[in-house]
Every structure is written in C-alpha cells, then in structure tokens.
Amino acid sequence: DTGVSQDPRHKITKRGQNVTFRCDPISEHNRLYWYRQTLGQGPEFLTYFQNEAQLEKSRLLSDRFSAERPKGSFSTLEIQRTEQGDSAMYLCASSTWGLATSDTQYFGPGTRLTVL
C-alpha cells in the first residue's frame, strides 16, 4: 500500500532561482491538491486537479507558480523566480471523487522549501 509521495523532501535554493516539486498520488485517486503551510499556520489551499484538469487556483497562487498534471497521474508544482516569502512546506494530497461515499484527502510528507 503506497501513500502519497513527494520529491524532493527538502529544497534549498537562492532567491531568483526556479524550483520544481513532484507529487505522486495514491494510484486510484482522481483528485490531487496542493497546499502550502508556513510556520504556526495550518495548510492553505493552492490548487487542485480532477484527472488532468486544473479546476481551481487560489489567489495565493501568483503568476510565478504553475502546476500541471499532464496525464492525470503525477503532478508538478513549479515556482519561478523564487522569493524569500516562498519559503514554506508544500503539501500534496489526493482523494477519489464521484463515489457514493465521502472521500478523504490523504497527504504526502511534504517538500520543505528554503529560499536564501
């Protein structure tokens, strides 16, 4: 039984550099979510996909952020021209949707980004 996996677990970068994170959801899950968590706060929603379609993006997701889920399986989150304020834990979650029962979001271990 494999859960949600994320890669890398840690990323340190210099301001202005681009970074890309990957998320592999639970295999039968058709919904995939990205959240961001900063110190002392709960996770904040960034965006979500149903299969390969990106259905909603938060106002938190500036134009420097882009997310893709090209084949409806894994997803990538790219941050261009990183800023120190982007330092956070980036969490991915997945769930099913469309079944008769309510479906829970299961989270990966997160990618901790530090922008120097």
Partner 1 sequence: DQQVKQNSPSLSVQEGRISILNCDYTNSMFDYFLWYKKYPAEGPTFLISISSIKDKNEDGRFTVFLNKSAKHLSLHIVPSQPGDSAVYFCAVTMDSSYKLIFGSGTRLLVRP
Q: How far apart are CA 90 and CA 108, in angstroms?
A: 10
CB of 98 to partner 1, least distance (A): 8
With respect to partner 1, which residue has the nearer C-beta, 10 or 81?
10
Question: Does the protein bind partner 1 through residue 74 (CB under 8 A)?
Answer: no
Question: What's the CA angle centered on 90, arms 74 and 20, to 5 degrees?
Answer: 55
Interface positions with partner 1 (CB under 8 A): 4, 6, 31, 33, 35, 40-45, 48, 56, 58, 91, 93, 95-97, 102-110, 112
